[in-house]
Amino acid sequence: MHKISGQRDPAAAFPLPARRDDASERRQASRAVTVSAAGLAATGITELLIAVLTGSVGLLGDAIHNLSDVSTSAVVFVGFRLSRRGPTERYPYGLDRAEDLAGIGIAVVIWASAAFAGYESVRKLLVHGATGHVGIGIAGAVLGIVGNLAVARYKLATGKRIRSATLIADARHSWLDALSSAGALSGLVAVAFGQRWGDPVAGIAVTALICHVGYDVTTGVVRRLADGVDPQIIGAAERAAGQLSSVVHAHARARWTGRRLHVEIEAWVDPGLTALESDALGRAAAAAIRDQISDVDSFTWATRAAPA
């Protein structure tokens, strides 16, 4: 039997026990996006009509934000559809990254919504614009709160279940819409008590909330695209490999592409191992990694001979 050399052995990919139904997860994601888009469209159009009737900029900003969610849902849907395509010669890793790229579209829409809502709110505050039919406006804001909370909970539950960062980001966007609806509601209540400034101030507060979540979503998307990963994943992978017999030291790397987590281990092992023993060690490492990190989808193992 051959001994492993002092040079780095070629990396080998070891199979992992299947624990996910990818086709089912994609169906769940598509269903969540479609149902959410329909609900948000109905909510947003109703709020928009009421905003035009009442002249409420707080409600207008909330309506535009709700309708922007429909466009982001379309972006997410396209991302999931593209990620279904398998590897090709041009794209040997497939198009899983399309889900992460869809997150950029969500971030752009959030920031555009913030700019529009902020502009309209400041303009109304400066010109001392009036708000009418306040009771109808309050009802519209309550509708926005209920609709957005329902959609956010649904998308968040689905996103966590299938581990989709893009769907979770979209759910946070809908949660933000519920907060913005609450802000619009508070402004209209203030107007009902004779405070004309309540509506534009509420619009400015809604804009601040949009910017806050926009920053959160943007940093999350950029982190994924830059191959950022939770340090705990790296620590767990190195501990799992390092505890195996014959492994002197292990160095791990990991990256997400869409909903798939890829882990690579470079291990310094006993130079006396035979090729067969080295292969068995790699398979043991794959099992150990799977036990420690349930999210892992692919595993690559490379060895170096440890110094004598």
Q: How far apart are CA 155 and CA 205, in angstroms?
A: 25
pTM above 0.75, yes or no: no
| Same domain? 82 vs 127 | yes
What's the CATH number where 82 sits?
A: 1.20.1510
pLDDT at 23: 67
CATH code of the domain covering residue 293: 3.30.70.1350
Higher pLDDT, 161 or 241: 241
Calculate what percentage of the chain has a pLDDT beyond 70: 90
The predicted-structure confidence for 258-307, as pLDDT tens digits, reads as follows: 778 889 999 898 888 887 888 888 888 888 888 888 778 888 888 888 77
94-109 pLDDT, tens digit each: 787 787 787 888 788 8
Does the pLDDT of residue 79 top 80, yes or no?
no
- Helices 198-225 & 57-83, crossing angle to 10 degrees? 20
> Are 248 and 305 in contact, with CB atoms under 8 Å apart?
no
Long-range contacts of 274-278 (CB under 8 A, 24+ apart): 274/1, 274/2, 274/3, 274/4, 275/1, 275/2, 275/3, 275/4, 276/1, 277/246, 278/4, 278/9, 278/303
Higher-scoring residue by pLDDT: 163, 152: 152
Report if residue 12 sits inside a domain: no
Parent domain of 55: 22-225
Q: Does residue 97 fall inside a structural domain?
A: yes
The answer as to whether 234 is a domain residue is: yes
75 plus 183 within the same structural domain: yes
Do 281 and 299 have their domain in common? yes
Contact between residue 265 and residue 249 where contact means Cβ atoms under 8 Å apart: no
pLDDT range class, residue 46, cuts 50, 70, 90? very high
The mean pLDDT of 54-78, rounded to a whole number, is 77
pLDDT for residue 220 is more than 70: yes
**79: which 2 tokens?**
């991302």
pLDDT of residue 166: 67
CA-nearest of 41, 63, 205, 37 to 137 is 63
pLDDT-derived band of residue 226, with 50, 70 and 90 as boundaries? confident
Position 1 confidence tier, pLDDT thresholds 50, 70, 90: very low
Helix (H) / strand (E) element for 109: namely helix 97-127
Tell whether 35 and 172 lie within a shared domain: yes
Query: Band of the pLDDT at 234, cuts 50, 70, 90?
Result: very high
pLDDT of residue 142: 92
Q: What is the pLDDT of residue 12?
A: 57
Question: Is the per-residue pLDDT at 4 higher than 60?
Answer: no
Q: Is the pLDDT of residue 21 over 70?
A: no
pLDDT of residue 27: 76
